[in-house]
Amino acid sequence: MSEKKPALWLRIWAIITYAYIYLPILILIIFSFNTQKLNVRWEGFTFHWYEVLFNDQEVMLATRNSLTVAAVSTTAATIIGTMAALALQRYRFPGYTLAESTLYIPVIIPEVVMGISLLAFFAQIGFTLGLGTITLAHIAFNIPFVTLVVRARLHGFDKAIEEAAMDLGANELTTFWRVTLPTIMPGVLSGALLAFTLSLDDYVITYFTAGPGSTTLPLRVFSMVRFAVTPEVNALSTLWVLTVFTLLLIGQLAQRRRV
C-alpha cells in the first residue's frame, strides 16, 4: 500500500490487538509452571505438571494416535492432492469444472455437516469407527488444501525448463522426476505441512468419526478441559504451542530461502 507511516492510533490499536491475541496464550504458558493446582494465583515455579503430563498414559496414547493419523493422512492427501493440482493447472479434460468445484466443497461446508455425513456413511456401510475411519476422513478434507497450495506454486511455473529438458533428450518421466518435482517441491512441502497441521488440529470431524480407543489429542484435550482446569492442560498446551510455532517458523524460513 503506502510508504507513509501509519497513524499513531493505528499503531496503538495494533499493539492492543496483538496483546489481546497473545496475552491469553502467554498466561496459559506461565501457569503451566505454577505450583498451585487450582490455577488461580501464582505461587511458585515447578516442572511438576510436565512430569504429570508425560506420565499420563491416556495423553501419550492420544498423542501417538494423532501422529499416526496425521502421518498417514498427510502422505495420502499430499500424493493425491499434488496429482490433482498438476491435472487442474496443466490439462484440460472432461469434467474439469466438476472436479474443481468438488475440491472446494470441504473448504466451504460447515465442518459439523461433513462430520455427521461421514458418521452416517460409515455406519451405513458397516465400517467400525476408529483410527481407520478418522484417517479416511482426514484424507478427504486434506486433499483440497494440498491441491490449493500446490496449484498456487504451479501457477508461476515456467514450462520452458521442462521443454528444455525434453529437448535435451529426457523422457516425460525423467523430466517429471528431475525437473518438475524438484521445482514444485516447496509447494508440495508446504501443502504437506498444512495438511499435517490441519490433521493434528482437527476436533469436529474427528469427533464424529472416532470410536472407542481411538482418542486423538484434540479429543483428549477437550475432555480434560471439560472436566477441570488443571495445570496439566496448561503444560500440554504449552508444548503444543511451541511445536506449532517451531514448525511454522521452519516453514516460513524454508519458503523465504527459495524465493
Partner 1 sequence: MAETTTSQPFGRSFTVVAKIRENARMQGLVLISPTIIYLALFLLLPLLLVVVLSVMTRGPYGNVVYRLNLQNYTRLIDPLYLRILGYSLTVAAFTTLVTILIGYPLAYYIARVPEVQRAPLLFLILVPFWTNFIIRIYAWIMLLRSEGLLNSLLINLGVIQIPMEILYTPTAVLIGMVYEFLPFMVLPLYTSLEKIENAQLEAAADLGARPWQAFLRITLPLSVPGMIAGSILVFIPAMGMFVVPDLMGGAKTVLVGNLIRNQFLTARDWPFGAAASMLLLLLTLVFTLFYTRKAGFGEELLL
Looking only at residues 143 through 162 of this chain, which bind partner 1 when binding is defined by CB under 8 A? 143, 147-148, 152
Of 55 and 101, nearer to partner 1 (C-beta) is 101
- What nine digits make up the cell of 50? 510436565
Enumerate residues 224-243 that contact partner 1 by CB under 8 A: 225-226, 229, 233-234, 237, 240-241
Question: Is residue 67 a contact residue for partner 1 (CB under 8 A)?
Answer: no
With binding defined as CB under 8 A, does residue 221 bind partner 1?
yes
Cα–Cα distance, 222 to 242 (Å, whole number): 19
CB closer to partner 1 out of 68 and 255: 255
Does residue 109 interact with partner 1 by CB under 8 A?
yes
Question: Of the candidates 44, 94, 126, 156, which one interacts with partner 1 according to CB under 8 A?
Answer: 94
Among the listed residues 19, 252, 254, 258, the single contact to partner 1 using CB under 8 A: 252
CB burial class (10 A; 0-12, 13-18, 19+) of residue 155? exposed
120 binds partner 1 (CB under 8 A): yes
4 touches partner 1 (CB under 8 A): yes
Residue 218 touches partner 1, criterion: CB under 8 A: yes
Site for partner 1 in 167-206 (CB under 8 A): 197, 200-201, 203-204
Of 44, 57, 92, 126, the residue at the interface with partner 1 (CB under 8 A) is: 92
Burial of 223 (0-12, 13-18, 19+ CB in 10 A): exposed
142 binds partner 1 (CB under 8 A): no
C-alpha span between 31 and 40 (Å, rounded): 9
Contact pick of 53, 118, 129, 165 for partner 1 (by CB under 8 A): 118
Residue 246 makes CB contacts below 8 A (sequence gap 6+) with: none
27 binds partner 1 (CB under 8 A): yes
